[in-house]
Structures are given as C-alpha cells and as structure tokens.
Amino acid sequence: MKSTKKLTKLAMLTAVSLAIYAAEARLPPVAPVPGIKPGLANAVTLFVFLIYGAPGAAMVSFGRILLGGFVTGGFSALIYSLAGGAASFAVMAAAYRKMGARRAFITGALGGAAHNLAQLAVAAAVTETPEIFAYLPVLLVSGVITGIFTGLCAGYAAKRLGSLR
C-alpha cells in the first residue's frame, strides 16, 4: 500500500514538473544567449530529492525529460535534455549527500551549472563547433543564478509540504 501511494505521489510530481517544463518551453527567450531558461521544472526534481531521495528524484527528472520530448515535440532536443538532466542529477545527488536539505540552494546552483555545461558539451560535439564554448561563462552564471532560485523554491516547498511523504 505504501509503495503504491508513494508511486502515485511521484507520478503527480512528474506531471507537475512536465506542466512547468511545457509552459517554460512556450516562454520567449529571457536573454539573447541561446539556452538560458529559468529551469523551474528542476525545482520539482530538487523538491523530490529533499522529500523522497535520489531514486524518486531520478524517476521525476527522467520521466519529465522523456515525456517532455513528446509533449513539446522537441525530439531533436531530447539528447540535450538527457545530457543536461543526467549531469545535473549526478551533481545534485553528490551535493545532496554532502550537504543535505539545509543547503538546497547550493545543490540547485551546482545542478544548474552542470546542466548548462553538459548541454554545451553536447552542442559542441553535435555541431562540431568548439567555439560554442564562448557561451560558457554566461551559461554558467545563468545556471548558478537559476539554480539558486530553484533550490530556494524547493527548500521552501519541502519545509511547507514535507508532509507529502
């Protein structure tokens, strides 16, 4: 019974994350540099880290990425999303193990930076244009800023909604 209830809650959180991701895909670019987005769907992933741990967060993150490819029709972008999601997840899992829930904003910042770095690496490999790394400083700064914000959102939500467990 408990595992079914937990799976249902994780599925609902995946749907929330997917809805945020789809809404964000419709927003106009926030900066002239390609690839800068708020990444608010990652706040849900980090929230799940705080409430359910890494296995639940993996389900939500990769479920959103795969379903997001279907919902937005961005199948060519799926490789970028998978690379960014995997890098972000790995870094956030390591950071969470070291820092726990009290420093979710740092975990979010590290995850945002890792996400942008991985997507840039894939873009350089796919396009065979290493010059694309000129965007790295701007993307790292934006990843850290948006990651801090999503980490703060996730930490606040975990304090207020921790009873979801």
pLDDT number for residue 76: 74
> What pTM does this model have?
0.87
pLDDT number for residue 163: 59
pLDDT number for residue 77: 81
∠ CA 124-89-12 to the nearest 5 degrees? 120
Which ranges in the chain belong to alpha helices (H)? 2-25, 41-52, 54-72, 78-99, 104-127, 136-161
Evaluated on CA atoms 39, 41, 45, 47, the torsion sign reads positive
Low-confidence ranges of the chain (pLDDT < 70): 1, 163-165
∠ CA 148-151-155 to the nearest 5 degrees? 140
Provide the CATH topology of domain 2-164: Arp2/3 complex 21 kDa subunit ARPC3 (1.10.1760)
Other Cβ atoms less than 10 A from the Cβ of 85: the count is: 25
Identify the residue whose tokens are 């599925």: 11
Evaluated on CA atoms 156, 9, 11, 89, the torsion sign reads positive
pLDDT number for residue 57: 94
Name the token pair of 44: 């849900």
